Amino acid sequence: MCIIAVGRGGAKLSLSANLSLFFRFVILRYKHYFFVIIFPVYLLILVMKNLEKWQTVNSRMVINHPWCQVRRDEIKLPNGNIIDDYFVYIKPDVAMVLPITESGEIIFVRQYRHAFHDFFIELPAGHFEPTQETAETAAMRELTEETGYVASNMQKIATLYDKPGKDTNQIHLFLAENVIKAEEQQLDLTEEIEVLLIPQAEVFTKIHQGEISVAGTVAALFMGLK
Per residue in 34-85, pLDDT tens? 555 656 666 666 666 678 999 999 999 999 999 999 999 999 999 999 999 9
Least confident window among 122-136, 161-175, 179-193, 211-225: 179-193
Residue 8 DSSP symbol: G
4-10: average pLDDT: 48
pLDDT at 37: 60
Q: Please, are residues 54 and 75 in contact by the beta-carbon 8 Å criterion?
A: yes
- The b-or-e profile of 178-207 (16+ CB within 10 A means b, else e) is ebeeeeeeeeeeeeebeeeeeeeeebeeeb
pLDDT at 69: 96
Banded pLDDT at 162 (limits 50, 70, 90): confident
Q: Please, are residues 173 and 226 in contact by the beta-carbon 8 Å criterion?
A: no
- Decide if pLDDT at 4 tops 90: no
Please report, as a single letter, which amino acid is at residue 88. V
CA distance 131 to 172: 15
- The b-or-e profile of 12-31 (16+ CB within 10 A means b, else e) is eeeeeebbeebbeebeeeee
Per residue in 132-154, pLDDT tens? 999 999 999 999 999 999 998 89
pTM: 0.76
pLDDT at 21: 72
pLDDT at 137: 95
pLDDT at 110: 97
Neighbouring C-beta atoms of residue 40, cutoff 10 Å: 11
